[in-house]
Amino acid sequence: MSIGKAIPVWYSDEDRRRVEEAAALAGYKHLSKYIRDKSLGRDGQHQAVQDSLQAWADRQELISRLAETERSQRVAHALLAMLLFLVQRKATAAEVHALLCACENASVATDLLDTMPQLAELLRRFTEDP
């Protein structure tokens, strides 16, 4: 441990209160360490911990959004597969139109299951997680 000297610093009551609040918000237990780090232009390991926590939270949000996008893609592929199925089966224009209307009105894939039960298994097979 290095040997150092104390430097007395005087604050007004209001200034000291603000410095104490800032130190507490930054996660410092000792006011002197906060003042030292701030005066030398370094935030110490507390900032590094906060940055790593923020990076972890951002990564988790991105992973969640990516999973949601992948699920949406699987649903879109399933809808296309259902349309192709109807076309290959030489479905009538009314059947294709019914599926298109169901797709437009459905906010999620399960809404389609309620309107087109004969295609429910096909939709389940394409949208399930691998």
Residue 90 burial (10 A CB sphere; 0-12, 13-18, 19+): exposed
Write down the pTM of the prediction. Answer: 0.41
Asked if residue 31 belongs to a domain, the reply is no
The pLDDT of residue 13 is 93
- pLDDT tens for 6-44 read 888 899 999 999 999 988 888 888 888 888 888 887 765
Asked if residue 84 belongs to a domain, the reply is yes
Asked if residue 33 belongs to a domain, the reply is no
Asked if residue 37 belongs to a domain, the reply is no
Asked if residue 55 belongs to a domain, the reply is yes
Task: Look at the chain and report how many structural domains it folds into.
Answer: 1
Asked if residue 19 belongs to a domain, the reply is no
Question: Which domain range does residue 84 map to?
Answer: 43-127
- pLDDT tens for 77-124 read 777 777 777 777 777 777 777 777 777 776 665 666 666 666 666 666
Closest CA relative to residue 83, chosen from 71, 66, 101: 101
Asked if residue 7 belongs to a domain, the reply is no
